[in-house]
Amino acid sequence: MKQRPQRLQIGDTVGIIAPASPLSRERLSLALPMLERLGLRYVLADSVIEGDTHYLAKSDEQRVEEIHAMFKNPEIKAIICARGGYGTGRLLDQLDYPLIEDNPKIFWGYSDITALHTVINEYANLVTFHGDMLGDASRDDFSEASERMFLQLMQPWELHYDETRSPLTTIVGGVARGELTGGNLTLLTSTLGSKYEIDTRGKILVIEDVEESPLHVDRMLNQLRLARKFEGLAGIVVGSFTYSKSLAPQDSTFDAVFNDYFGKLNVPVVKGFNIGHCEPNFAIPLGVDALLNGDAKTLTILPGVE
């Protein structure tokens, strides 16, 4: 079993990092009040305070150093990513995984952060959290429901998802139990063929993506299929998928693509979860056991914190 980090207490200090792209100062100033509402103090990494205008917040070496410093600092009780964008995949072979494993704490983010979830889960044996980043709290449509998801860091909640949250569709029925893994589909395919690729064996795979076409999603799912990532898994949770703003909907749809790839699998597959680039975004721990019921269309997830 993977280590679950200690829960947060009111007054704890969290570290804010930008391991991918920078967050504008305007968005940062709009987002920080959320941490104050949660009763948390914060420390901002240099990549957040003075992030570059380049598509990377800082150099690879600086971003790696900030991740290590936040994990080593005993005053920091959780690490929350400021935003995604691009860049975490460049850091995977430079991270000190024994250091992270020896200093377990909450690590939270999604989208490009998926690459870090995969390796921290596997190489540091630590549960991480797939949820809205700090910068998301600056959006006009950021909801109270999304903000409440951060409260799972303060007490060991069992999470439950059913159709009271969103309409769900069963592609394949049945019941499966397994460790949750996954995240952004683009990031999951980007590490295939490397030592950092995702291990899906016996696990429930979560996938989501944003501004893609059915053709692109088809290509990525075919990559996973050819890499044998659908063999031996326990189940699949299909989160939010949205069309690219630059592409008109094509003859094929996401539903058709999902049915092509998942319809013949002998494991439960359910789609329609508000997990990913959507509002509200249902935040989940990765690396904990979950129960997916394709017949009842429910997902139950064990707590991510101690």
Number of domains in the chain: 2
Same domain, 175 and 144: no
What CATH number is attached to the domain comprising 176?
3.50.30.60
Pairing of strands 128-130, 76-81: unpaired
Alpha carbons 101 and 121: distance in angstroms, whole number: 10
Binning pLDDT at 50, 70 and 90, where does residue 169 land? very high
Residue 273 shares a structural domain with residue 290: yes
pLDDT band at 93 (very low <50, low <70, confident <90, very high): very high
pLDDT grade for 54, boundaries at 50, 70 and 90: confident
Q: Are residues 111 and 201 in the same domain?
A: no
**52 and 170 assigned to the same domain:** no
Q: Across all residues in the chain, what is the average pLDDT?
A: 96
Q: For residues 8-20, give the mean pLDDT.
A: 98
Residues involved in catalysis: 111, 208, 277
Per the structure, the complete domain to which residue 135 belongs is given by 13-153
Would 195 be classed as within a structural domain? yes
Average pLDDT over residues 186-191: 98
Asked which of 118, 153, 188 is the last residue of a domain, the reply is 153
Of 153, 172, 206, the position where a domain reaches its end is: 153
Q: Which amino acid is at 101?
A: E
Q: What is the pTM of this model?
A: 0.96
Q: Mark whether 146 and 163 lie in a shared domain.
A: no
In angstroms, the CA 160 to CA 302 distance is 9
Q: How confident is the model at residue 245 (pLDDT cuts 50, 70, 90)?
A: low
Residue 86: inside a domain = yes
In the chain, the amino acid numbered 23 is L
- 5 lies in some domain: no
52, 124: one domain: yes
Say if 73 falls within a structural domain: yes
Please, are residues 18 and 63 in contact by the beta-carbon 8 Å criterion?
A: yes
263 lies in the same domain as 236:
yes
Please, which pLDDT band fits residue 51 given cuts at 50, 70 and 90?
confident
> 129: domain CATH number?
3.40.50.10740
Task: Please tell me whether residues 210 and 127 are part of one structural domain.
Answer: no
Residue after which a domain boundary falls, among 153, 177, 205: 153
Give the chain's largest Cα–Cα span: 54
List the end-to-end C-alpha distance of the chain, in Å, as a whole number: 13
Tell whether 219 and 111 lie within a shared domain. Answer: no
Residue 46 shares a structural domain with residue 166: no
In a domain, 194, yes or no: yes
Across the range 16-39, mean pLDDT stands at 96
Q: Indicate if 33 and 138 belong to the same structural domain.
A: yes
- 3 is a domain residue: no
